[in-house]
Amino acid sequence: MPPGPHTSAGTDAASTPAGDGTPGAGAAAPAPVPRPGRAVRLARLVRREAPRTALAAAVGAALAFAFPPYDLWPLSVLAVAALSLLTRGRSARQGAWTGFALALPFFVLLLRWLDVVGYDVVFGLSAVEALFVAALGAGLARTSRLRAWPLWAACLWVAQEWARDRVPFGGFPWGRLAFANTHSPFTPLAALGGAPLVGFAVALAGTLLAFAALAARRLRTVRRVRTALPAAGAVALTAALTCAGYAVPVPTGADDTVDIAVVQGDVQKPGMDFLGRPMMILNNHVNATLDLARDVKAGKARRPDLVIWPENSSDLDPFRDVEAYDRIQEAASAIGVPILVGALVDHPTKPGYVFNEGIVWDPKSGPGASYTKQHPVPFGEYVPFREELSSVISRLQRVPRDFYPGDRTGLLQVGPARLGDVICFEIAYDEIVRDTVRAGARALVVQTNNATFGRTDQPEQQLAMSRLRAVEHGRTVVTAATSGISAVVGPNGRVEQRAPEFTREVISARIPLRDGTTLADRVGAVPEWALAIVGLSSCAAALLTGRRTQGEKTGKKAKKGQRHK
């Protein structure tokens, strides 16, 4: 019987004697080539992608200079454009590798201030954060074949930051595009949609630039006016988007004012052992406040309505240590106004746990209302899986007690002012700051202790976040730091006053208090969720489109084969 479409190839092979190498229908089928192992495939991918990987790494290193203390914000736009071009038309795996190659050097340079803990921490945290950008790279590669891909790509940047801000262990928002644009043309957009809208605008400007570059390259081969229109349009949209922030009104009017004094008492030395001997940091802040009280009495300084001390300004629990209590009371009585004191307070019922608190200390009645930090830093202020990890990582013994999280916002009445207290790294988290403003805070206070990371980029990076929050919420943001940088940031995001690091200094200022809210306060997290959902939906659409296209190609090949037979 002549062979037909249903004839088994295995039957023909079985009827041929072993070793018969004659060609034709009776020839033995070639042995299947074994698929290379995963390690071999990864090595081939790395070797094949070496030039693209090197370029991505260079772009990631450049992106770090968009952030403080360098503040070369245009690099954030260019980096987005570069990643879009490097991932365009690639497979998801290739896009993921490119994203990781860009992100790893970026985070290593951005977070190198963690070297005071150890370079293994720098590289470990950077690798974890880079995994999110790897997922972004895969999404960019997938969606690059869709129409309007610059829009979907910008939404994917928001989705990546949305995920990175929340997981693992509550997330780590450092390195968001918005934090590189705290005094750029994009900054006023924060008053409309917060940090997510600023990040989206930066990302969209970058993806539009990438689109313009691709259109310009096509123009070199096809010299037609019609071909030039997309490039010109993309450039015009990028320019309009960049300048759009100038049209956004930033509310700065005051409903009232209050005179404050911010005390930066200083520490003995930077690093992990900044505390020095017991009572030293507390005495520094008490003595600086007593000096202020003497100046007020002598008529050399105006009496403030309230005084703000930083996080950990009391290095002992004032409720358990009588000397610490008496010293704080001495300072409050001398200045004659309430002091917002930062202190570590032992948990009353859970031994081994402490509260990181801001305490309102009245000159007559003593300690009153307090705020407990809601978002302790994992592995810095508490150790997840302590029992399992402590036996493996001896360094965790340097965190002997776990900080217990608070369960409410930091709205505090400090003298005549209703303030929103935010402690240290909490300034990086949108919802913590927003909830405090929504609760009724008329100005924001960031109590922080940056002594561990003194003389690194970290204090500048954190101050930049305060600048963005000031614009986002239309509030003055007062940063009180043990060793610097203490500062007063106006509602327009401008730094009005600042104290240098590792000096004892008192900042006196009259700040506006505001009751009105911005559009960003009212819409909350809606823009972030909407943009993230759009980005993820575009990935799903790209997957479905890809499968449909592949199915159509397979069907055409099958029909062509049948016609040939």
373 is catalytic: yes
496 is catalytic: no
Nearest to 78 by CA among 203, 260, 178: 203
Contacts of residue 103, defined as CB under 8 A and 6 or more positions apart, other chains included, come to 60, 126, 129, 130, 132, 133, 134
Using CA atoms, how far apart are residues 355 and 394, in angstroms rounded to an integer? 24
Q: 130 has which bridge partners?
A: none
* Chain CA centroid to CA 28, Å: 61
Contacts of residue 480, defined as CB under 8 A and 6 or more positions apart, other chains included, come to 262, 263, 264, 308, 309, 310, 311, 340, 342, 445, 446, 447, 448, 486
Position of tokens 């910008």?
154
- The identity of residue 110, as a single letter, is L
* Chain CA centroid to CA 195, Å: 10
Catalytic residue among 424, 472, 501, 539: 424
Using CA atoms, how far apart are residues 514 and 470, in angstroms rounded to an integer? 12
Contacts of residue 290, defined as CB under 8 A and 6 or more positions apart, other chains included, come to 330, 331, 334
330 is catalytic: no
Catalytic residue among 49, 129, 161, 311: 311
Write out the DSSP string of 357-406.
Answer: EEEEEETTTEEEEEEE-SSPPBTTTB-TTHHHHHTT-GGGGG--SEEPPP
CA torsion sign, 348 to 351 to 356 to 361? positive
- The number of beta carbons lying within 10 Å of the beta carbon of residue 165 is 21
Q: Which tokens is 168 given?
A: 């693992």
- The number of beta carbons lying within 10 Å of the beta carbon of residue 355 is 21
Collapsing DSSP to helix, strand or coil, 446 comes out as strand
Using CA atoms, how far apart are residues 317 and 151, in angstroms rounded to an integer? 52
Catalytic residue among 49, 161, 357, 373: 373
Q: 314 has which bridge partners?
A: 343
- The identity of residue 261, as a single letter, is A
Nearest to 441 by CA among 505, 364, 358, 361: 358
Using CA atoms, how far apart are residues 135 and 155, in angstroms rounded to an integer? 13
Nearest to 483 by CA among 266, 255, 277, 193: 266
Collapsing DSSP to helix, strand or coil, 509 comes out as strand
Catalogue the active-site residues: 311, 373, 424
